[in-house]
């Protein structure tokens, strides 16, 4: 079903041939498209099913985060109810727009934990390999570059500007 939808979407745009098709215009898709399109001989297509957040006050104001839940900006995903959540589902805000979840989740950035990556046991996906990937895209504004942070990547990262004592 997804392949048919992608094929139909690609047929609507030109040129008719692409070297790369990226599904999702969130942070990862945008960084990947930027890197791949640096080679001007390559044709890159980014498909994003949601709208552009440009001009939307709800998306621009982090205080409106919950107003985006179950809206045109959100995929509406929920967890399966469990005993640990009092048998209630938990909403997972996943952005359905250009910018993806970065546009709809108050711009929270989290890499994941070492144990998560290492527990997968997949070649190339361990914590050390993933750290290299994170460093390649990170532009940390508040911490010095070093073993765990970099300042030269395309994705801006900074500490929260507001702390509630």
What would the pLDDT profile of 11-65 be if each residue is shown by its tens digit?
666 666 899 999 999 888 988 999 999 999 999 999 988 888 888 888 887 777 8
d(CA 135, CA 70): 33
Tokens, residue 121: 């046991």
- Of 9, 97, 99, 13, nearest to 51 by C-alpha is 97
What would the pLDDT profile of 111-131 be if each residue is shown by its tens digit?
889 999 999 999 999 999 999
């Amino acid at each position: 079903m997804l392949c048919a939808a992608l094929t139909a979407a690609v047929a609507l745009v030109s040129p008719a041939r692409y070297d790369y098709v990226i599904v999702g215009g969130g942070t990862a898709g945008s960084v990947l498209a930027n890197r791949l399109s640096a080679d001007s001989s390559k044709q890159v297509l980014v498909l994003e099913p949601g709208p552009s957040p440009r001009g939307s006050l709800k998306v621009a104001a982090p205080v409106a985060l919950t107003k985006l839940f179950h809206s045109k900006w959100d995929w509406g995903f929920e967890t399966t109810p469990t005993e640990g959540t009092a048998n209630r589902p938990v909403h997972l805000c996943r952005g359905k727009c250009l910018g993806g979840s970065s546009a709809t989740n108050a711009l929270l950035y989290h890499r994941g934990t070492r144990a998560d990556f290492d527990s997968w046991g997949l070649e190339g996906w361990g914590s050390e390999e993933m750290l290299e990937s994170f460093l390649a895209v990170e532009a940390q504004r508040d911490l010095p570059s070093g073993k765990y942070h970099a300042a030269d990547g395309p994705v801006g990262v900074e500490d929260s500007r507001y702390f509630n004592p």
